[in-house]
Structures are given as structure tokens and as C-alpha cells.
Structure 1
Amino acid sequence: MTAVKSITLILLWVVAAWRLPGAIRTPRQRALWVAFASIAAAMTLGVPGVMHAVDAFAGVHNLATLGKNLFGIVASAAILDFVTVIARPESVSGLRRVLVPASAITMTTLTVLFALTPRPEESDNFVETNMGSAPGTAYYIVCFGSLGLAMAVATRLFWGSGRHAGARWLRWGLRTLGAGSAFGLLYSLYRTILMLFGLSHTDVEASRADLVADILEYTSISLIILGSSIPAIGVRWRVLRDWRSLREIRPLWAVLTRAVPHVVLDIRSMRPGPRVRLHRAVIEIRDATLVLADYASPDLRERADAAAEQYDLTPEQRSALAEAVLLHTAVAAKLAGTSPAPAGNAQPSSQLPADFDFDVEVDRLRAISEAYHSPAVHALTASAASTTHAPVTAASEDLSDLECRTRPTSDPQASGAGSIPVIRS
């Protein structure tokens, strides 16, 4: 057994074990688990030591080969069921009414043809042994024909779903699964053509034919493993990114909600994940900002923008800096007991606008949070509060320090579409 086959077999069992808890909890994941478990079982029966042990125990030549091919039919049917759940969920019940009896008929036919195929002795390569045999050719045409049909339909559905998938990780995963099923189709066609050549007594170099078949088969399996793992990896990466974003905007949230505690949502009965917590923090910061807008003088925004303009910063950096100054001043006024401006009637609302870009907003709040807690921003706040349009001169050392330490983020995942900078104190 080659190293590639051994590694592929180990990966299949690892993926099957990894997906078992999800398959128990979520019905729509069970078909994919059945597919991986069946492919792993089929490949295990193809290991020479396991194959001979099964055949010797049963007393039937090449019984393990039949088991391997039956597991292959189960796997192809499970893959077809899985992609239908994703691509056309409304057709799942109708597909299963056809798929289950069709698979049962195919497996029964395969068993009958296996019994009719002469097997005078144990064979290490059942395909090669039955080249030119009518029952053996019929056996493999049924086997590879059913596999090829399932892979052709799966390829079409995977690629069609990949074009319409919204999430990038899901789109890549579906396309990779489509590539894997396409290689499965090529493998089925190649094996079928080889059997037909054998039936017509056309000479085919066995070693080279097996090498090509192995390349197609293991490429298909590897792509299916990879394609099914990409969306799961993407989800876990997003969870880590959400935790990091939540941790970075949490200091800003703490300051604003201390000044405006009534904007905090009551979700004590829930056990939210990081994505929900991040949404909650963004909404509460937004609501607190609406309330605090009444505690800033009408011209403070202009003065904060003018103060930020004194530095050679990107537009995003200047915006974050000015917003931090504005919020810092408003929080101080609110905590000092200052009355809100008479014209301010804004009320907190947990509803976000339809065109709201959540990821861009999170990146913006991360930048504001770091700017807010910069020592230089405290100096800039004092300067903006005491100066109308004059250049900023107070605390020049702190402000120079802000300019030196201000850098755009280098993390493309953190920066988002707008490349929001991070202002470090």
C-alpha cells in the first residue's frame, strides 16, 4: 500500500470521526458523514491485509471486493443526497423516493453479477482478473455506471450552488467538491472504458492503466475531503475573528455603556456565541453614540475634524481620530451631569439600516476604540475643546507621538474592505 493511499485512508477516518458529532446533532449533515464513512470503509476493504482476512473468514473469494463496491454505491448516493440538500432542498424528499430503491436495485444487481462471475481463486486485482470476462465486465459497468451517473449529477449541482453561494468559504468549498465529483466521473468513465477494451481483447498495459485510475480516484477523494472541510474551517476562522474584534471594541463599549447604561440589551436568558455578542456590542455602541450626540456642542465635530487634519493621516485614520475626540468629549459631558442639547431627540434603536455593512462597521469601531484610549487623543480632546480653528499646539509631544505610532493595519482580514487603520497609543 503506497504512502498516498495510507494518508488518504487515515484522513478519511479522521474526517468521518470529526463529523460524527455534527451528524448526530444535525440531520442535514448525516448524508455527508455517511459518504465519508462509506468511502473510508471501502478503502479499508481494499487494503490487501484486510481484504485477505475478510475473504478467509467468509470463505468466499474476493468478497471484500464486493463489499468495497457496495460501500462505493452507498457513498455516491450519500453525496448526491448531500448536494441536493444544499442546492435544491425542496427536491430532497422526491430524490430520496427514487434514490433509495435505485441504490437497492443497483446493489442487488451487483451482488447477483458478482455471484455469476467466475472466481476460482483469490485475486489481488479483481478488475484485472476479469478483463475480457462478460460477467465481470457487466459487474463493473453496473458498478462504475452508477457511480459515474451520481458524480455527474453531483458535479452539476455543486458547481451551480457554488456560483450562487454568498459566503466566500462556502463558495470555494462547493467548487472544490464539484471538482472532486468531476474527477470521480472521470474515474468511472476511465474504468468503464478499460473494461470495454478488455471485452474487445484490446491490449492495455495494466500497470499504467492502474496508475492513471489511482491518480483519478485519489484526486477525487482528496478534493472531496478538502471541499467539505473548507466551509468548516471558514466558520471557525470567522469565530476567531469575531472574538478578536469583540475583544478590541470591548473597551469602547465599556466606556460608552457606562455613560449610557440603558442602551444595553437584556439577553441574560440567552447564551450567545461570539457573532451574536459582536452584533450586540455594535448595536449598543451605535445606540450609545446616538444618545451621546446630544451632549456635544454643534461645532465640536468641525473642530475635531480640523484637529485631525493637522496630521498626515489617511482619511480613515482621520475619521477614527475625530470620532474618538467627539465621543470622549460627549462621554465626559454626560458623566459630568451636563444637560443634553434641546434639539436632540435621538432615541436608541437596535434596528440597523438595510445597507449597513457590518464588517466595515466593526473595522471602523476597532480603529475608534484604539484611538479613544490613546493618550494623545486625550490631549487632542482638550485642544479641540478649547480651540475653534487654530492649529493644534497643546501637548505637542503627545500629538507627535500619536503621528509616529499611527500605522495602517497590515492584516487584510482585520482591515476589511476599507482598510481601516489601527491607532496605537
Structure 2
Amino acid sequence: MNIHDVIALLMAVPLWAVVIWRASTLLKTPGQRALWACFVFLAVAATLRLSSIETWVIDATGVDEVVSVSKHIAVILGGLLMLRWVDSSAPDAEPTPMWRRLAHDRPRNIVAVVGVVGAIATAPLASPAIIEDGTHRVFLEAQYGHLGGTISLAPYIVISGISMVMSGYLSTLAARRYGKRLLKVCMGIFTVGCWSGAIYFGFVGAYLLYGLTGADAPMSLGLVQVVGNLTQLVCIVGLAVGSSVKGFDAVMNLKRYRRWLIEIRPLWSNLVSVMAPDAIEDVLNNSAASLAHDRRNIRRLYERLDERIIAITDAALGVAPWIASDLPARALTAAKAEGLAGDDAQAAAEALCLYVARRGRADFTEPAEHPSDSPPLTLHDDTEICAPWLAKVSQYYKALQSDPGEHPLKRNLDSPLEPA
């Protein structure tokens, strides 16, 4: 395997990985189907760069130009399909500019037909590829200073280059549209890939046009290949990574769910331990009891987090009768006396109330004569809002558990109430 095959693999492997990963989303929206087909065409074009594949196809068809024409057609179609996806992701403009109407289905399909027919019709005009190392075919550089070869590459360069420029501009608009930082970053990476592709086609076009002047090549064949391969690699990596927004979002969600599951564990395990025996057994049967399991297992993270929040809510309601009517206010005063404010003070107060109530129930003391009417926890229907709040409460609850007698919150609990 030579260096050219290594570079081809560096392009083909990430593209096929994206194709396989995106196959599960194939039927969801037209935009996703267009993006998947785009990566299929780009992956095919990158695979055809491999010397063994290239030689096999030529031997099987008996046509020397079949590989270069197939690669160019695949890139043309891939670029137009990518433009379809980016256009659907970018914000609509009123009125729609004339140039953007070219990205719509009908004009794009016409351009695709013209490009494919043009690439096939002009293929015989090209100069034969240069053979390097006995197997590697260098097609682009063989067309330097050759009018017919430059014409044969015109559909590939012009259509693909314009597709990249339009996609780069539209993806820039899409990046500004999104509010989430992750989405902005991913679309920004995608934009870098598009503009890198545009640079590649601009470089190739300028290189071939300069050759028509009859002047010697301004750079060596090796340098041309280095520049071309580098810009293509940046383009492919940018497109593959930047378009994987949902994949990154899913990974970040898993990371957050796992963190919250571990962070609310002290509150969950301590409160659940004073529930009725059948309820404890049910909770433990439906939730992994070990911390190591929480750290290692990422299956059903969202469902397990939701189950744990429900268990905490039920347990909090179970100890609520031991929260006296004045305890929430005293607990809030104790938290503020410790320098806490806002959400931190409220979370610490809730943790202190639950700790006192749980101790009361565990010690079999009588419930409060006048229990508090306030809910023991600030909860929300949305798990992603509820979980970080319970994680904050659990942080203070764990601190109370570790040092109940000397913890400042416990010492401050009997502080005078704040004036009304």
C-alpha cells in the first residue's frame, strides 16, 4: 500500500462510517435522506481512489476513463445533495434571492443532469492518466496544459465548486440561526469543510487555466498533490464531523444523564431506605444498587434517571409529615446564615428539611403536630430541569450525612427567623 492509498483510506473510512451511522435516520426527513445519499456518493468517490479498486474497475470494464468519470460524477451529485440539506437547514429569506433558488429541487436536478451528461460526453477529450509507482494513476495533473482535459474537468470543477461555495454560505447562516452552542460549533465545522472544498476546486481550476497559457507548471507534481489532498481531507473531515450534530448531542446527553444519575444517588439511597419494605424492594429491583453500576453502565440512562427521580419524589412525600410548618423557613435562614443565596440557599434548605424529616421517621418519632403545607422538593415535569436541581439538593444532603452534628447548616438551624 502506497501513500496515495493511505490518503484514500483516510478519506473513505470516515465517509463510510457516516454512511453506516446515518442509515438508521434514512427515512425520517428528505433533508436527512439527501445528506445520507451525499455521503454515499462521496464515499464511493473516495473508495475509487484506491489503486486496487481503480485497477479492478478498469480491468472489469475495459475503459480507462471509467474510474475518473465515475469519481467526478459522484462528487457532482454528492455536492448537489449536500446543497439540498444545507438549504433546508438555513433560515428562509424573504424574498428568496435569485441565487438561492438554484438550490431548490428543480434547478438542482437540471444542473445534475447537465453535469452528468457533460462529464460523460467530454471524457474522451481527456489526456491519459500518468502512472506512478506502476499502479497509481494521476489524472488531474495529466490535464495540465491540455485543452481537452481541461474541458472534460469543467463540469466537475464548476458545478462542485459552486455547490461548495453556496453550501458554505448557507451553513454560515445556519450556524448563526442555532441557539445551542454545540449546534453552532458543529455547523461551524461543517462550514470549514465546505469552504475547504471550495478552495480545492478553486485551486484546481486556477491550476488548469494557468496551464492553458503554455507556461510551465508553477509548482511540482508532488506539491500539487499535497495541496489537493490536504484541502480534500479538511473538507471531508469537516463535512463528516460537522453534520454529526445529533450524534454529538446524543453523546453529550448521555454524559449529562450519567453525571446526574451519580450526583442524585446520595439523596436517592438515603431517602428510599426509610420507605416501606415492599417499596424499597421494588425500587432496588428496578434500579441498579451499586455505584460501580451507575458509573459503568450507560444503557437506559434516561429511563434510570427518570425512575430515580420518581423514587426520590415518592420518598420525599413519605417523610413530608415530619417537616414542621416552620422548618422550611428556619432551614432557609440557616442556609443564608452560611452565606448561601438564591438557588443554592433554597437547595440547601430543602436538603436540610429532608434530612431532619428522614431522621425523624427513621427514629420512629411522632410526625410534626403542624406539618408544612409546602412541597418538600422543588420539582418540574421536565426530567432535564428536575435532575440538575435534585443534584444540587443531593450535594448538600450528602454533606449533612457526612458530618451531621458539626455541619454549619445543622448548627444554624435554630437561628432566629428572618423578619417578615
State the TM-score, normalizing by the size of structure 1: 0.72
Q: Unpaired runs of 5+ in structure 2?
A: 94-99, 280-298
Is the 2:129–2:139 Cα contact (8 Å) retained in structure 1?
Answer: no
Q: Tell me the equivalent position of 2:401.
A: 375
Q: How big is the shift at 1:160?
A: 1.1
Distance of 1:199 and 1:51 partners within structure 2: 28
1:58 corresponds to 2:58: no
Q: Tell me the equivalent position of 1:366.
A: 391
Q: How big is the shift at 1:114?
A: 0.9
Residue 29 of structure 1 aligns with an amino acid whose one-letter code is Q
Is the 2:47–2:53 Cα contact (8 Å) retained in structure 1?
Answer: yes
Show CA shifts across 1:108-156 (max 9, x none). 1111111344659989222222223333212212211101111111111
1:95 corresponds to 2:104: yes
Is the 2:165–2:195 Cα contact (8 Å) retained in structure 1?
Answer: yes
Q: Taking structure 1 as reference, are residues 345 and 131 closer, same or farther at Cα in structure 2, changes over 3 Å only? A: closer
Q: Tell me the equivalent position of 2:330.
A: 303
Q: Tell me the equivalent position of 1:73.
A: 76
1:241 corresponds to 2:256: yes
Residue 67 of structure 2 aligns with an amino acid whose one-letter code is A
Is the 2:7–2:229 Cα contact (8 Å) retained in structure 1?
Answer: no
2:352 is aligned, of 325, 347, 366, to: 325
1:154 corresponds to 2:179: no
Q: How big is the shift at 1:256?
A: 7.7
Q: How big is the shift at 1:72?
A: 0.5
Distance of 2:47 and 2:264 partners within structure 1: 50
2:373 is aligned, of 337, 344, 357, to: 344
Residue 353 of structure 2 aligns with an amino acid whose one-letter code is L
Show CA shifts across 1:2-21 (max 9, x none). 24443232222233223223
Q: Taking structure 1 as reference, are residues 201 and 332 closer, same or farther at Cα in structure 2, changes over 3 Å only? A: same
Greater displacement, 64-73 / 210-219: 210-219
CA-based RMSD of the aligned residues comes to: 4.4
Q: Tell me the equivalent position of 1:187.
A: 200
2:114 is aligned, of 102, 105, 111, to: 105
Show the 5 A alignment for 1:110-259.
110-117=119-126, 119=128, 124-204=137-217, 205-207=219-221, 208-229=223-244, 231-249=246-264, 252=267, 255=271
Q: How big is the shift at 1:217?
A: 1.6
Is the 2:175–2:188 Cα contact (8 Å) retained in structure 1?
Answer: yes
Distance of 1:343 and 1:312 partners within structure 2: 25
Q: How big is the shift at 1:182?
A: 0.3
Q: Tell me the equivalent position of 1:395.
A: none
Q: Tell me the equivalent position of 1:403.
A: none
What is the number of residues matched between the two proteins?
377
Residue 212 of structure 1 aligns with an amino acid whose one-letter code is V
| Partner SS state of residue 344, structure 1 | coil
State the TM-score, normalizing by the size of structure 2: 0.73
Distance of 2:356 and 2:410 partners within structure 1: 9
Distance of 2:249 and 2:372 partners within structure 1: 46
Q: How big is the shift at 1:76?
A: 0.5
Q: Unpaired runs of 5+ in structure 1?
A: 262-271, 391-425
Distance of 2:341 and 2:415 partners within structure 1: 21
Q: Taking structure 1 as reference, are residues 289 and 64 closer, same or farther at Cα in structure 2, changes over 3 Å only? A: same
Show the 5 A alignment for 1:281-296.
296=323
Greater displacement, 376-385 / 76-85: 376-385
Q: How big is the shift at 1:190?
A: 0.9
Greater displacement, 74-83 / 314-323: 314-323
Q: Taking structure 1 as reference, are residues 274 and 307 closer, same or farther at Cα in structure 2, changes over 3 Å only? A: same
Q: How big is the shift at 1:289?
A: 6.9
Is the 2:324–2:371 Cα contact (8 Å) retained in structure 1?
Answer: no
